[in-house]
Structure 1
């Protein structure tokens, strides 16, 4: 057993892998109580509210309209950061990852999900290309650079994306920031893939949907775990195949959680968006309720596979790796708590 800095988190990881480790923790009323997912290690509402206020002040300064400010206020991305990163009390670092999560969510709403907010399948590719130029600064010359920078500054969404990356760069190393941008590139590819199904009316098989959803996941945000906590997982370890498998499995569990907790709101719409229960229902010819139960089982299989992978990786003599694996599992716990308690996912919102 390792000793020294980070050992307590290493022991926490091993304890969390015990099948009964969360059984004695209180659970709130939950339509998906059978989900195999740990309970959050910390619920500090005052801290979450402090980070929320930072997010709202930032969004106001960026120039977002009242409708976006209302969404950010009700969604509570500062609370999300507080729940997902229980080993950090640093409001500045929590704000950095909360702003990144908020900016990407607003982009997803306005570019991909909600046609009432201006989402347009025909314009998605061009919009995402420009968003990438805002996030991973486009490098032009002369007047072309001036025009690009002016376009980013004039659009609150593009400005928020660029600003959120600037906030992350205050605390992250080039490899940590590059890792987040790498995962974000995958996220953008995934959004275009899902939009193609929507425009053609095609319902993919479950395996293909899961493969696409793994690309279009929360990994751009999950991967900031070490940045928020103030240590560095080396790039060679992050991209080691076993670690990569663990991250991709964990990332997929979190978007299945998103699909489940948004199911009621989505199904109440005239044209429901995708989501694993809907895809399962179409493939198996079963009710949405039965499909939701099957989806819970898929999530649980993924989470058990993640735990098994972490057990295999426990032999790697890296405190940073063990901290990171414990941290991303805590991220999943916080995300699940946020999804089941956020007003954002209520049908009447």
Structure 2
């Protein structure tokens, strides 16, 4: 968000830090994590704190306290519509976390369709992109926010960043699964390799093609929206593109993803082509996720 208000940008930074630290402690793939029955209660109480921050729930939990503080900060700097969108984004995120937690508890690799549907929410992209207008001092009007094309652009943003994250983090996840006995990998590369019975390198090539296909769809849809939308909505869809680019810049250098793994035989080459967003080859072999039928 290069044009964010310097006074509001820290809100988005706090959001990212909360999501990543919560993920590491409560929803990462390590064994011995929060039992499923406790996790359901925890997420339900966090959702209620978002709805009503004065609710005296989880008083000794630092993530609950931090989320409550962030909720109050967002409320102080946003419109009622922006606050509602932000709260809803977190509840969607919690839904995705529960789905993933069930998969992990059962040691199950989901189908490609189920994983794509789950990852739209579980990736945590929606709470972050809620700051696209909020932190930049403007508001997407209701007719722009609810435009089906704008909704699809949000979905594309979540899909692209989520799949970029899978490409970036697969090495770390695969190494930890093999060396430390972590549960079944919840990653699109692993899901495709399992469902299609192919090597991880082949699955990664397919995921790269999927993200490039989605990127081409995003650019085409963005141009149509900009051509006939109000200035705030046009600015918003350009802001979504900045999140996509920003994630690439961040993840390429972050120690969070650059796990040392020279001796790991299944490691993938770090990085993938991002400069050429044109669909490559025939897309007849690409998965056609049912939940993305509106724009895929």
TM range (shorter): 0.7 to 0.9
**Cα deviations by residue, 1:191-234 (Å, 9 ceiling, x for unpaired):** 11112122222222212211111122301111211111111111
Q: Distance in 2 between matches of 1:341 and 1:152?
A: 35
* Residue of structure 2 aligned with 1:298, choices 202, 207, 210: 210
Matching of residue 107 in structure 1 with residue 22 in structure 2: yes
C-alpha RMSD of matched pairs (Å):
1.9
| Number of equivalenced pairs | 255
Evaluate the alpha carbon distance shift between residue 340 and residue 169 of structure 1 in structure 2; reply closer, same or farther with a 3 A threshold. Answer: same
**Cα deviations by residue, 1:159-204 (Å, 9 ceiling, x for unpaired):** 0111112222232111111111112111111111112122222222
Q: TM-score, normalised by structure 2?
A: 0.80
Question: Which residue matches 2:127?
Answer: 220
Q: Offset at 1:97?
A: 1.0
Q: Distance in 1 between matches of 2:46 and 2:143?
A: 28
Matching of residue 278 in structure 1 with residue 190 in structure 2: yes
1:1-349 aligned at under 5 Å gives the runs: 85-88=1-4, 90=6, 92-115=7-30, 118-137=33-52, 148-149=55-56, 151-217=57-123, 218-269=125-176, 270-271=181-182, 273-348=185-260
Give yes or no for contact 2:50–2:68 (8 Å, CA) kept in 1.
yes
**Which runs of no fewer than 5 residues in structure 2 stay unpaired?**
262-296
Q: Distance in 2 between matches of 1:167 and 1:283?
A: 44
Q: TM-score, normalised by structure 1?
A: 0.69
Give yes or no for contact 1:187–1:216 (8 Å, CA) kept in 2.
yes
Question: Which residue matches 1:36?
Answer: none
Q: Distance in 2 between matches of 1:101 and 1:157?
A: 13
Report SS of the residue matched to 1:230: coil
Q: Offset at 1:89?
A: 5.5
Report SS of the residue matched to 2:8: helix
Report SS of the residue matched to 2:23: helix
